[in-house]
Structure 1
Amino acid sequence: MTIEALSADLSFARPADDEQLARAVGGLTERGYNTHVVDTVARARELVRELLPRDKDVFTANSETLRTSGIADDVDRSGEFRSVRATLADESDLRAQIRMGAAPDVVVGSVQAITEDGVLVAASASGSQFGPYAAGAERVIWVVGAQKVVPDLDTALRRVRAYCYPLENERWRQRGAASFVGKLLIMEREAFPDRATVVLVREQIGY
Protein backbone atom coordinates (compact mmCIF):
# COMPACT_ATOMS: atom_id res chain seq x y z
CA MET A 1 0.00 0.00 0.00
CA THR A 2 1.28 3.48 -0.89
CA ILE A 3 0.76 6.17 1.75
CA GLU A 4 0.50 9.61 0.19
CA ALA A 5 3.01 12.26 1.24
CA LEU A 6 1.39 15.56 2.24
CA SER A 7 2.81 19.03 1.83
CA ALA A 8 3.40 21.07 5.01
CA ASP A 9 3.02 24.85 5.15
CA LEU A 10 6.52 25.76 6.30
CA SER A 11 5.51 29.29 7.27
CA PHE A 12 4.36 27.69 10.53
CA ALA A 13 7.95 26.64 11.30
CA ARG A 14 9.09 30.21 11.96
CA PRO A 15 9.71 30.93 15.69
CA ALA A 16 7.75 33.80 17.23
CA ASP A 17 9.60 37.05 17.87
CA ASP A 18 10.03 38.68 21.28
CA GLU A 19 6.85 40.75 20.99
CA GLN A 20 4.75 37.74 20.08
CA LEU A 21 6.24 35.73 22.93
CA ALA A 22 5.57 38.56 25.37
CA ARG A 23 1.92 38.69 24.29
CA ALA A 24 1.62 34.92 24.65
CA VAL A 25 3.16 34.99 28.13
CA GLY A 26 0.72 37.73 29.14
CA GLY A 27 -2.22 35.78 27.76
CA LEU A 28 -1.16 32.52 29.39
CA THR A 29 -0.58 34.19 32.75
CA GLU A 30 -3.98 35.90 32.64
CA ARG A 31 -5.61 32.54 31.92
CA GLY A 32 -4.04 30.84 34.93
CA TYR A 33 -0.93 29.18 33.50
CA ASN A 34 2.50 29.46 35.09
CA THR A 35 4.81 30.39 32.24
CA HIS A 36 8.57 30.24 31.73
CA VAL A 37 10.47 31.44 28.66
CA VAL A 38 13.86 29.83 28.06
CA ASP A 39 16.39 30.41 25.30
CA THR A 40 17.39 26.83 24.48
CA VAL A 41 16.08 23.29 24.38
CA ALA A 42 18.86 22.31 26.78
CA ARG A 43 17.61 24.84 29.34
CA ALA A 44 14.03 23.62 28.90
CA ARG A 45 15.22 20.10 29.65
CA GLU A 46 17.00 21.28 32.79
CA LEU A 47 13.97 23.26 33.93
CA VAL A 48 11.60 20.33 33.51
CA ARG A 49 13.92 18.18 35.61
CA GLU A 50 13.81 20.91 38.28
CA LEU A 51 10.02 21.16 38.18
CA LEU A 52 9.24 17.44 38.27
CA PRO A 53 8.72 15.71 41.63
CA ARG A 54 10.62 12.53 42.44
CA ASP A 55 7.88 11.12 44.67
CA LYS A 56 4.93 11.31 42.23
CA ASP A 57 3.88 9.26 39.22
CA VAL A 58 4.89 11.06 36.02
CA PHE A 59 3.38 10.29 32.61
CA THR A 60 5.07 11.45 29.39
CA ALA A 61 2.61 12.05 26.57
CA ASN A 62 3.72 10.93 23.12
CA SER A 63 5.46 14.00 21.75
CA GLU A 64 8.22 14.74 19.26
CA THR A 65 9.16 17.67 21.51
CA LEU A 66 9.77 15.37 24.47
CA ARG A 67 11.51 12.77 22.35
CA THR A 68 13.94 15.06 20.54
CA SER A 69 14.70 17.19 23.60
CA GLY A 70 15.62 14.14 25.70
CA ILE A 71 12.92 14.89 28.29
CA ALA A 72 11.09 11.63 27.57
CA ASP A 73 14.25 9.61 28.22
CA ASP A 74 14.98 11.62 31.36
CA VAL A 75 11.62 10.66 32.82
CA ASP A 76 11.16 7.16 31.46
CA ARG A 77 14.66 5.69 31.41
CA SER A 78 16.86 7.45 33.94
CA GLY A 79 15.35 5.75 37.00
CA GLU A 80 15.24 9.15 38.70
CA PHE A 81 11.47 9.53 38.34
CA ARG A 82 8.41 7.34 38.95
CA SER A 83 7.62 6.82 35.28
CA VAL A 84 4.14 5.66 34.33
CA ARG A 85 5.44 4.59 30.93
CA ALA A 86 8.10 2.40 32.51
CA THR A 87 5.32 0.69 34.45
CA LEU A 88 3.15 0.39 31.34
CA ALA A 89 5.91 -1.60 29.63
CA ASP A 90 4.89 -4.57 31.79
CA GLU A 91 1.15 -4.14 31.15
CA SER A 92 -0.28 -5.94 28.10
CA ASP A 93 -3.95 -4.95 28.51
CA LEU A 94 -4.72 -1.88 26.37
CA ARG A 95 -7.57 -0.66 28.56
CA ALA A 96 -5.39 -0.97 31.65
CA GLN A 97 -2.71 1.08 29.89
CA ILE A 98 -5.23 3.80 29.06
CA ARG A 99 -6.51 3.89 32.64
CA MET A 100 -3.00 4.19 34.05
CA GLY A 101 -2.23 7.12 31.77
CA ALA A 102 -5.55 8.88 32.32
CA ALA A 103 -4.97 10.23 35.82
CA PRO A 104 -1.26 10.40 36.71
CA ASP A 105 0.02 12.72 39.40
CA VAL A 106 1.91 14.66 36.72
CA VAL A 107 1.76 14.68 32.92
CA VAL A 108 4.46 16.18 30.71
CA GLY A 109 3.76 16.87 27.07
CA SER A 110 3.33 19.53 24.43
CA VAL A 111 0.64 21.20 22.34
CA GLN A 112 0.40 22.04 18.65
CA ALA A 113 -0.32 25.76 19.04
CA ILE A 114 -0.61 28.61 21.52
CA THR A 115 -2.44 31.80 20.58
CA GLU A 116 -1.02 35.18 21.48
CA ASP A 117 -3.88 35.64 23.95
CA GLY A 118 -3.05 32.39 25.72
CA VAL A 119 -5.30 29.65 24.32
CA LEU A 120 -3.67 26.21 23.94
CA VAL A 121 -4.61 23.79 21.16
CA ALA A 122 -3.64 20.12 21.18
CA ALA A 123 -4.30 17.58 18.42
CA SER A 124 -4.12 13.80 18.56
CA ALA A 125 -5.13 10.69 16.66
CA SER A 126 -6.29 8.76 19.74
CA GLY A 127 -6.75 11.58 22.27
CA SER A 128 -5.11 9.48 25.00
CA GLN A 129 -3.25 12.46 26.45
CA PHE A 130 -6.31 14.71 26.60
CA GLY A 131 -7.73 13.26 29.83
CA PRO A 132 -4.69 14.15 31.94
CA TYR A 133 -4.15 17.41 30.04
CA ALA A 134 -7.65 18.68 30.73
CA ALA A 135 -8.27 17.44 34.27
CA GLY A 136 -6.96 13.96 35.07
CA ALA A 137 -3.47 14.93 36.16
CA GLU A 138 -2.83 16.82 39.38
CA ARG A 139 -0.13 18.82 37.56
CA VAL A 140 0.67 19.34 33.88
CA ILE A 141 3.79 20.69 32.19
CA TRP A 142 3.80 21.58 28.50
CA VAL A 143 7.08 22.22 26.66
CA VAL A 144 6.40 24.29 23.57
CA GLY A 145 8.68 25.62 20.84
CA ALA A 146 8.29 29.29 19.94
CA GLN A 147 7.24 28.39 16.38
CA LYS A 148 3.92 27.20 17.82
CA VAL A 149 2.84 30.69 18.91
CA VAL A 150 0.22 32.03 16.49
CA PRO A 151 -1.97 35.14 16.37
CA ASP A 152 -5.39 33.60 17.05
CA LEU A 153 -7.47 30.43 17.33
CA ASP A 154 -8.32 30.23 13.62
CA THR A 155 -4.61 30.28 12.81
CA ALA A 156 -3.94 27.69 15.51
CA LEU A 157 -6.43 25.28 13.96
CA ARG A 158 -5.00 25.94 10.51
CA ARG A 159 -1.52 25.22 11.86
CA VAL A 160 -2.69 21.82 13.09
CA ARG A 161 -4.01 20.76 9.69
CA ALA A 162 -1.57 22.53 7.37
CA TYR A 163 1.68 21.87 9.24
CA CYS A 164 1.52 19.48 12.20
CA TYR A 165 -0.65 16.86 10.54
CA PRO A 166 1.43 16.54 7.34
CA LEU A 167 4.63 16.18 9.36
CA GLU A 168 3.13 13.60 11.72
CA ASN A 169 1.69 11.74 8.75
CA GLU A 170 5.14 11.69 7.16
CA ARG A 171 6.62 10.26 10.36
CA TRP A 172 4.09 7.42 10.21
CA ARG A 173 4.47 7.05 6.44
CA GLN A 174 8.10 6.08 6.98
CA ARG A 175 6.71 3.12 8.96
CA GLY A 176 4.26 2.16 6.22
CA ALA A 177 1.24 3.63 7.99
CA ALA A 178 -0.67 6.91 8.09
CA SER A 179 -1.79 9.38 10.74
CA PHE A 180 -4.92 11.48 11.11
CA VAL A 181 -6.38 14.20 13.29
CA GLY A 182 -8.78 12.25 15.45
CA LYS A 183 -9.43 14.69 18.28
CA LEU A 184 -8.75 18.32 19.14
CA LEU A 185 -8.52 19.85 22.62
CA ILE A 186 -8.85 23.60 23.11
CA MET A 187 -7.84 24.87 26.56
CA GLU A 188 -8.94 28.41 27.31
CA ARG A 189 -8.28 28.73 31.03
CA GLU A 190 -6.92 26.76 34.00
CA ALA A 191 -9.27 26.47 36.97
CA PHE A 192 -6.78 25.40 39.64
CA PRO A 193 -3.89 27.66 40.75
CA ASP A 194 -0.40 26.28 40.08
CA ARG A 195 -1.74 23.19 38.30
CA ALA A 196 -0.44 23.97 34.81
CA THR A 197 2.94 25.19 33.60
CA VAL A 198 4.00 26.19 30.09
CA VAL A 199 7.70 26.20 29.19
CA LEU A 200 8.14 28.28 26.04
CA VAL A 201 11.40 27.63 24.18
CA ARG A 202 12.79 30.31 21.89
CA GLU A 203 14.43 27.60 19.78
CA GLN A 204 12.36 25.51 17.42
CA ILE A 205 11.53 22.12 18.92
CA GLY A 206 8.94 19.60 17.79
CA TYR A 207 6.26 20.51 15.27
Structure 2
Amino acid sequence: MTANIQERFTQLPDEQALAATVTALEEHGFSVEVVDDIEAARKSVLARIPRGAAVMTNTSVTLQETGVQDAINEADGPYESLRNRMMALDFQTQMQEMKNIAGGAEYALGSVHAITADGALVIASASGSQLAAYAWSAPNVIFVAGAQKLVPNLEVAHERLTQHSLLLEDGRAQAAYGQRSYIGKVLEIRQEMPGRIHLVLIRQNIGF
Protein backbone atom coordinates (compact mmCIF):
# COMPACT_ATOMS: atom_id res chain seq x y z
CA MET A 1 0.00 0.00 0.00
CA THR A 2 1.53 3.31 -1.03
CA ALA A 3 1.61 6.24 1.35
CA ASN A 4 -0.56 8.30 -1.01
CA ILE A 5 -3.32 5.67 -1.10
CA GLN A 6 -3.20 5.21 2.66
CA GLU A 7 -3.46 8.95 3.24
CA ARG A 8 -6.30 9.25 0.72
CA PHE A 9 -8.45 6.75 2.58
CA THR A 10 -7.51 7.55 6.18
CA GLN A 11 -7.90 11.33 6.18
CA LEU A 12 -10.64 12.63 8.45
CA PRO A 13 -13.22 14.99 6.95
CA ASP A 14 -13.75 18.53 8.14
CA GLU A 15 -16.83 19.36 10.19
CA GLN A 16 -18.69 20.82 7.20
CA ALA A 17 -18.29 17.65 5.15
CA LEU A 18 -19.20 15.50 8.14
CA ALA A 19 -22.38 17.50 8.82
CA ALA A 20 -23.41 17.41 5.15
CA THR A 21 -22.97 13.63 5.03
CA VAL A 22 -25.00 13.16 8.21
CA THR A 23 -27.82 15.19 6.66
CA ALA A 24 -27.72 13.07 3.50
CA LEU A 25 -27.80 9.85 5.54
CA GLU A 26 -30.78 11.05 7.54
CA GLU A 27 -32.60 11.97 4.34
CA HIS A 28 -32.16 8.33 3.25
CA GLY A 29 -33.73 6.89 6.39
CA PHE A 30 -30.67 6.27 8.58
CA SER A 31 -30.37 7.68 12.08
CA VAL A 32 -26.90 8.99 12.88
CA GLU A 33 -25.00 9.95 16.00
CA VAL A 34 -21.57 11.58 15.82
CA VAL A 35 -19.25 11.00 18.79
CA ASP A 36 -15.73 12.09 19.62
CA ASP A 37 -14.03 8.85 20.64
CA ILE A 38 -14.30 5.08 20.99
CA GLU A 39 -15.52 5.20 24.60
CA ALA A 40 -18.44 7.41 23.60
CA ALA A 41 -19.14 5.10 20.65
CA ARG A 42 -19.29 2.03 22.88
CA LYS A 43 -21.63 3.75 25.34
CA SER A 44 -23.84 4.92 22.48
CA VAL A 45 -24.20 1.43 21.02
CA LEU A 46 -24.86 -0.31 24.33
CA ALA A 47 -27.43 2.30 25.34
CA ARG A 48 -29.54 1.33 22.31
CA ILE A 49 -29.68 -2.41 23.13
CA PRO A 50 -32.05 -3.65 25.84
CA ARG A 51 -30.86 -6.22 28.35
CA GLY A 52 -31.61 -9.77 27.26
CA ALA A 53 -31.71 -8.92 23.53
CA ALA A 54 -30.35 -11.46 21.04
CA VAL A 55 -27.33 -9.70 19.53
CA MET A 56 -25.00 -10.73 16.71
CA THR A 57 -21.59 -9.07 16.57
CA ASN A 58 -20.40 -9.52 13.02
CA THR A 59 -16.65 -9.65 12.42
CA SER A 60 -15.37 -6.08 12.59
CA VAL A 61 -12.11 -4.48 13.61
CA THR A 62 -14.11 -1.39 14.62
CA LEU A 63 -16.34 -3.38 16.99
CA GLN A 64 -13.23 -4.94 18.47
CA GLU A 65 -11.33 -1.67 18.90
CA THR A 66 -14.29 0.14 20.47
CA GLY A 67 -14.86 -2.64 22.99
CA VAL A 68 -18.40 -3.26 21.73
CA GLN A 69 -17.56 -6.83 20.74
CA ASP A 70 -16.29 -7.78 24.20
CA ALA A 71 -19.17 -6.03 25.95
CA ILE A 72 -21.78 -7.97 23.98
CA ASN A 73 -20.04 -11.35 24.05
CA GLU A 74 -19.02 -11.30 27.71
CA ALA A 75 -19.83 -14.60 29.37
CA ASP A 76 -22.86 -14.24 31.66
CA GLY A 77 -23.30 -10.67 30.41
CA PRO A 78 -26.62 -8.85 30.04
CA TYR A 79 -27.12 -9.81 26.39
CA GLU A 80 -27.81 -13.05 24.54
CA SER A 81 -24.66 -13.38 22.45
CA LEU A 82 -25.51 -15.16 19.20
CA ARG A 83 -21.83 -15.25 18.28
CA ASN A 84 -21.12 -17.26 21.41
CA ARG A 85 -23.93 -19.66 20.49
CA MET A 86 -22.56 -20.01 16.96
CA MET A 87 -19.00 -20.63 18.10
CA ALA A 88 -20.18 -23.55 20.22
CA LEU A 89 -21.24 -25.39 17.05
CA ASP A 90 -19.20 -27.37 14.53
CA PHE A 91 -18.36 -25.38 11.40
CA GLN A 92 -18.18 -28.47 9.22
CA THR A 93 -21.40 -30.23 10.25
CA GLN A 94 -23.68 -27.51 11.67
CA MET A 95 -23.31 -24.68 9.18
CA GLN A 96 -27.03 -24.31 8.48
CA GLU A 97 -27.79 -24.13 12.18
CA MET A 98 -25.14 -21.44 12.51
CA LYS A 99 -26.79 -19.48 9.70
CA ASN A 100 -30.17 -19.79 11.39
CA ILE A 101 -28.76 -18.45 14.66
CA ALA A 102 -27.17 -15.43 12.99
CA GLY A 103 -30.35 -14.79 11.01
CA GLY A 104 -32.39 -14.63 14.21
CA ALA A 105 -30.61 -11.61 15.66
CA GLU A 106 -32.76 -8.86 17.14
CA TYR A 107 -29.74 -6.58 16.81
CA ALA A 108 -27.08 -7.01 14.14
CA LEU A 109 -23.89 -5.07 14.87
CA GLY A 110 -21.01 -4.33 12.55
CA SER A 111 -19.32 -1.66 10.50
CA VAL A 112 -19.19 -0.36 6.94
CA HIS A 113 -16.27 0.17 4.58
CA ALA A 114 -17.42 3.40 2.97
CA ILE A 115 -20.03 6.12 3.43
CA THR A 116 -20.80 8.30 0.43
CA ALA A 117 -21.44 12.03 0.57
CA ASP A 118 -24.95 11.51 -0.83
CA GLY A 119 -25.92 9.09 1.94
CA ALA A 120 -25.17 5.49 0.93
CA LEU A 121 -23.48 2.78 3.01
CA VAL A 122 -21.14 0.29 1.34
CA ILE A 123 -20.09 -3.02 2.92
CA ALA A 124 -17.82 -5.66 1.41
CA SER A 125 -17.60 -9.27 2.54
CA ALA A 126 -15.86 -12.47 1.55
CA SER A 127 -18.64 -14.94 2.43
CA GLY A 128 -21.51 -12.48 2.75
CA SER A 129 -22.47 -13.99 6.11
CA GLN A 130 -23.46 -10.65 7.64
CA LEU A 131 -25.07 -9.03 4.61
CA ALA A 132 -28.52 -10.66 4.81
CA ALA A 133 -29.04 -9.30 8.31
CA TYR A 134 -27.92 -5.84 7.27
CA ALA A 135 -30.09 -5.78 4.16
CA TRP A 136 -33.28 -7.35 5.50
CA SER A 137 -33.52 -9.94 8.26
CA ALA A 138 -32.43 -8.05 11.39
CA PRO A 139 -35.10 -5.66 12.74
CA ASN A 140 -32.34 -3.50 14.23
CA VAL A 141 -28.92 -2.80 12.73
CA ILE A 142 -26.23 -0.72 14.40
CA PHE A 143 -23.10 0.26 12.48
CA VAL A 144 -20.04 1.86 14.06
CA ALA A 145 -17.54 3.58 11.76
CA GLY A 146 -14.62 5.96 11.83
CA ALA A 147 -15.22 9.22 9.98
CA GLN A 148 -12.27 8.50 7.67
CA LYS A 149 -14.63 6.20 5.75
CA LEU A 150 -16.50 9.14 4.24
CA VAL A 151 -15.96 9.30 0.46
CA PRO A 152 -17.32 11.54 -2.31
CA ASN A 153 -19.27 8.92 -4.28
CA LEU A 154 -19.79 5.22 -5.02
CA GLU A 155 -16.88 5.10 -7.47
CA VAL A 156 -14.46 6.20 -4.78
CA ALA A 157 -16.21 3.90 -2.29
CA HIS A 158 -15.33 0.89 -4.45
CA GLU A 159 -11.78 2.16 -4.84
CA ARG A 160 -11.57 2.32 -1.06
CA LEU A 161 -12.74 -1.30 -0.83
CA THR A 162 -10.17 -2.66 -3.26
CA GLN A 163 -7.21 -0.36 -2.66
CA HIS A 164 -7.41 0.02 1.11
CA SER A 165 -9.89 -2.09 3.11
CA LEU A 166 -9.15 -5.36 1.34
CA LEU A 167 -5.40 -5.02 1.79
CA LEU A 168 -5.74 -4.46 5.52
CA GLU A 169 -8.33 -7.22 5.92
CA ASP A 170 -6.15 -9.62 3.94
CA GLY A 171 -3.33 -9.07 6.41
CA ARG A 172 -5.69 -9.53 9.36
CA ALA A 173 -7.18 -12.72 7.89
CA GLN A 174 -3.79 -14.26 7.25
CA ALA A 175 -2.72 -13.55 10.83
CA ALA A 176 -6.01 -14.72 12.36
CA TYR A 177 -7.01 -17.62 10.11
CA GLY A 178 -3.96 -18.43 8.02
CA GLN A 179 -5.81 -17.67 4.78
CA ARG A 180 -6.18 -14.83 2.31
CA SER A 181 -9.23 -12.57 2.16
CA TYR A 182 -11.15 -11.45 -0.91
CA ILE A 183 -14.20 -9.45 -1.85
CA GLY A 184 -16.91 -11.98 -2.64
CA LYS A 185 -20.00 -9.80 -2.20
CA VAL A 186 -20.71 -6.09 -1.86
CA LEU A 187 -23.82 -4.53 -0.33
CA GLU A 188 -24.88 -0.96 -1.04
CA ILE A 189 -27.63 0.40 1.20
CA ARG A 190 -28.97 3.56 -0.39
CA GLN A 191 -32.35 3.87 1.35
CA GLU A 192 -33.86 2.44 4.54
CA MET A 193 -37.12 2.61 6.42
CA PRO A 194 -36.60 5.09 9.28
CA GLY A 195 -35.75 3.55 12.63
CA ARG A 196 -34.12 0.33 11.44
CA ILE A 197 -30.46 1.25 10.81
CA HIS A 198 -28.47 3.43 13.19
CA LEU A 199 -24.94 4.66 12.46
CA VAL A 200 -22.49 5.78 15.13
CA LEU A 201 -19.81 7.93 13.46
CA ILE A 202 -16.56 8.49 15.36
CA ARG A 203 -14.42 11.57 14.80
CA GLN A 204 -11.36 9.31 14.74
CA ASN A 205 -9.52 7.06 12.30
CA ILE A 206 -10.61 3.61 13.40
CA GLY A 207 -11.16 0.33 11.58
CA PHE A 208 -10.60 -0.52 7.93
Which of the five TM-score ranges fits, normalised by the shorter chain? Answer: over 0.9
> How far does residue 7 in structure 1 lie from its aligned partner after superposition?
5.6
Q: Give the whole-Å Cα distance in 1 for the aligned partners of 2:173 and 2:45.
A: 28
1:84 maps to 2:82: yes
Distance 1:58 1:7 in 2: 38
The runs of 5 or more residues in structure 2 that have no matched partner are none
What RMSD in Å do the two structures reach over aligned CA positions?
1.4
Task: Report matched runs for 1:112-131 at 5 Å.
Answer: 112-131=113-132
1:51 Cα deviation after fit = 0.8
Which amino acid in structure 1 is aligned with residue 207 of structure 2?
G
1:49 aligns with 2:50: no
**Following TM superposition, where does structure 1 have runs of at least 4 consecutive aligned residues deviating by more than 4 angstroms?**
none
Decide whether the 8 Å contact of 2:52 with 2:78 is kept in 1.
no
Query: Per-residue deviation at 1:90?
Result: 2.2
Provide the residue aligned with 2:206 in structure 1. 205
Q: Is the 8 A contact 1:84 1:100 kept in 2?
A: yes
Instruction: State whether structure 2 residue 19 is matched by structure 1 residue 18.
Output: no
The separation in 2 between residues aligned to 1:24 and 1:199, in whole angstroms, is: 13
The alignment partner of 1:66 has SS state of: helix
Gaps of 5+ in 1: 1-5
Deviations 1:135-188 (A, max 9, x none): 110100000100001111111111000100011111123353211001000000
Identity of aligned residues (%): 37
Q: How does the TM-score come out when normalised to structure 2?
A: 0.92
Question: Could you list the per-position Cα deviations for residues 56-81 of structure 1 after superposition, in whole angstroms to 9, with x for gaps in the alignment?
Answer: 21111110000111110000115121
Q: How is 1:1-207 mapped onto 2 (pairs within 5 angstroms)?
A: 9-10=5-6, 11-77=8-74, 79-92=77-90, 93-175=94-176, 176-191=178-193, 193-207=194-208
With the length of structure 1 as denominator, give the TM-score of the two structures.
0.93
Quickly say closer, same or farther: Cα 1:102–1:7, change in 2 above 3 A.
farther
Tell me the secondary structure at the aligned position of residue 184 of structure 1.
Answer: strand
| Contact persistence 1:7–1:166 (CA under 8 A) | no
Deviation larger for 170-179 or 78-87: 170-179
Residue 58 of structure 2 aligns with an amino acid whose one-letter code is: A
Do the aligned residues in 2 keep the contact of 1:41 with 1:69 (CA within 8 Å)?
A: yes
Q: Structure 2 CA distance, aligned partners of 1:97 and 1:53?
A: 23
CA distance in 2, matches of 1:56, 1:177: 33
Amino acid at match of 1:90: A
